[in-house]
């Protein structure tokens, strides 16, 4: 009985140790306490940790620096995170774009070591039957960006590009991975690919509210008049594109909002409808020969404008935008194309 009581005493924090924890300002942050508990779990005898507790910093910022220093352990005399090129590591792990004779099997022990040291940084949850690992606090992400990717924007974008392409090709987590593609396209500054993806059938699993936010974000900001002119051109699609899923995954092009791809009910009605507005283009995104010629907004083919003649099945279809897109960004008519070429990389 005396032996059991003595053993329990060794696994209980002493008064001095408790005071060190309580009096440390870092203890006000949940991340600090999570890290502390994880470290205490590794000690069989708590009487050995007084010195370690005294060495912990007093602020969360300093604590995170200490944590990152501990993550940068060495394996084979090489820092795990400082020396490994992230893109190369990912490509090797996935064996992507690697010749059969040059395939590299990443050491599982290295991945296991990285995961163990990052444990205090991460939360794990399950989405659609798949394990999702996220950072516990935004401060961690900011510190990681500053430490490992400051002045390395090209490397960071290449990682996002790789992840976007990987999620597009990987069939095992199709529904979830398709929802991650827009984020990685945007972070890689691949705006043209982002817009094309959100208008494709592959993006059906992307939430409509996310789709609208991305597409409205890159809409042209030029304000136009409501009067039809070369400076305020009506947007058209050709008769071929009108019946295809060119602008969105939910309905045919002629029934979609030109901006966010939301289906517009009553799009074919010539009468005024509160659910739609005319889609118009500025001079830069329109056709120089307007109104004699028009250009399809999807396939970019140039067609003659046959307005004033008897309608035929070969006529181009005037496009509309939904009420929400007409109101976003302030009142007034705005160009309905995207500023893809003007976005700096």
Torsion of CA 240, 241, 245, 247, to 10 degrees: -170
Report the first-to-last Cα separation within the chain, whole angstroms: 71
Encode the chain (345 residues) as per-residue pLDDT tens digits: 343 344 444 567 778 888 888 888 777 777 777 777 777 777 766 767 777 777 777 777 777 777 777 666 544 445 544 434 444 545 555 555 556 666 555 556 666 766 777 777 777 777 767 677 777 777 777 887 887 777 778 888 888 888 888 888 765 666 778 888 999 999 999 999 999 999 988 888 898 899 999 999 999 999 998 889 999 999 999 989 988 888 888 888 888 899 999 888 766 655 567 778 899 999 999 999 998 999 999 889 998 887 666 567 788 889 999 888 988 866 678 999 998 864 444
8 A C-beta contact, residue 336 and residue 322? no
Q: Which one-letter DSSP state was computed for residue 328?
A: T
Beta bridge mates, 236: 296, 318
8 A C-beta contact, residue 189 and residue 206? no
8 A C-beta contact, residue 92 and residue 106? yes
Please name the residue ranges forming H helices in 46-173. Answer: 50-54, 60-71, 86-94, 108-117, 138-149, 153-169
CB atoms within 10 A of CB 75: 14
Q: What is the pLDDT of residue 63?
A: 76
| CA separation for the pair 165, 184 (Å, rounded) | 9
Q: What is the pLDDT of residue 87?
A: 46
8 A C-beta contact, residue 129 and residue 173? no
């Amino acid at each position: 009985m005396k032996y059991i009581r003595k053993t329990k005493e060794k696994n209980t924090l002493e008064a001095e140790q408790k005071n060190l924890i309580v009096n440390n300002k870092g203890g006000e942050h949940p991340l600090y306490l999570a890290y502390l508990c994880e470290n205490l779990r590794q000690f069989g005898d708590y009487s050995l940790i007084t010195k370690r507790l005294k060495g912990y910093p007093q602020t969360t910022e300093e604590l995170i620096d200490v944590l990152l220093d501990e993550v940068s352990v060495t394996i084979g005399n090489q820092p795990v995170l400082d020396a490994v090129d992230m893109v190369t590591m990912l490509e090797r792990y996935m064996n992507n774009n690697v010749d059969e004779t040059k395939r590299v099997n990443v050491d599982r022990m290295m991945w296991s070591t990285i995961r163990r040291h990052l444990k205090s940084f991460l939360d794990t949850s399950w989405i659609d039957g798949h394990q999702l690992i996220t950072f516990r606090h935004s401060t961690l992400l900011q510190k990681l960006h500053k430490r490992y990717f400051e002045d390395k924007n090209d490397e960071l974008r290449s990682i996002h590009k790789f992840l976007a392409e990987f999620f597009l090709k990987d069939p095992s987590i199709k529904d979830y991975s398709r929802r991650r593609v827009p984020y990685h396209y945007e972070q890689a500054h691949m705006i043209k690919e982002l817009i094309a993806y959100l208008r494709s059938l592959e993006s059906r699993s992307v939430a409509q509210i996310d789709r609208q936010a991305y597409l409205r974000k890159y809409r042209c900001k030029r304000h136009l008049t409501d009067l039809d002119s070369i400076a305020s051109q009506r947007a058209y699609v050709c008769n071929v594109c009108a019946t295809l899923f060119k602008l969105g995954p939910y309905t045919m092009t002629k029934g979609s909002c030109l901006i966010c791809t939301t289906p517009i009910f009553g799009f074919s009605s010539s009468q005024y409808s509160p659910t739609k507005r005319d889609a118009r283009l500025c001079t830069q995104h329109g056709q120089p020969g307007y109104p004699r010629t028009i250009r399809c907004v999807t396939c970019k083919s140039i067609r003659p404008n046959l307005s004033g003649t008897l309608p035929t099945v070969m006529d181009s279809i005037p496009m509309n935008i939904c009420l929400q897109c007409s109101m976003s960004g302030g009142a007034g008519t705005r160009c309905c194309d995207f500023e893809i070429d003007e976005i700096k990389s």
